A = this chain, B = another copy of it.
Amino acid sequence: MVQVPDKPLVPDNSLITASPEDGRALAIMLSRHSIHAMQRELEVLTNGRAQYSHDPYGLIAASHVIAVEFATIAAANNYWRVEPVA
């Protein structure tokens, strides 16, 4: 069966990104790579994605994980503040 290729858990081995937008994209990637570490079969992943992405509860559950990953990435980047706030 076709498997997702081997790849790192953390792209570029860093939590530091240039901007919140890039940090958000990294949060999505981190959560996807976790799932690929548990399930490598492409067909299972594709079927699973079709299932949860058409179910509002699946989408909410997935967005919850992204929010938790993003919290870590945002802290790592000191929230991309240009100057200290307050």
Taking Cβ atoms with an 8 Å cutoff, the residues of A that contact B are 8-10, 13-16, 19-21, 23-25, 28, 30-31, 33-35, 37-39, 44, 48-49, 51-72, 74-86
* Residues B60 and A52 in contact, CB atoms below 8 Å apart: yes
How far, in whole Å, are A76 and B58 apart by their CA atoms in the complex? Answer: 28
* Residues A67 and B28 in contact, CB atoms below 8 Å apart: no
* Residues B64 and A55 in contact, CB atoms below 8 Å apart: no
> Could you jot down 20 A-B contacts, CB within 8 Å?
A8-B21, A10-B19, A10-B21, A14-B20, A14-B80, A16-B81, A30-B70, A38-B62, A39-B54, A57-B61, A64-B65, A64-B68, A65-B67, A67-B72, A71-B71, A71-B72, A72-B79, A75-B79, A76-B80, A82-B86
A76 CB to closest chain B CB, in angstroms?
4
- Tell which of B13, B38, B52, B84 touches A21, judged by Cβ atoms closer than 8 Å: B13
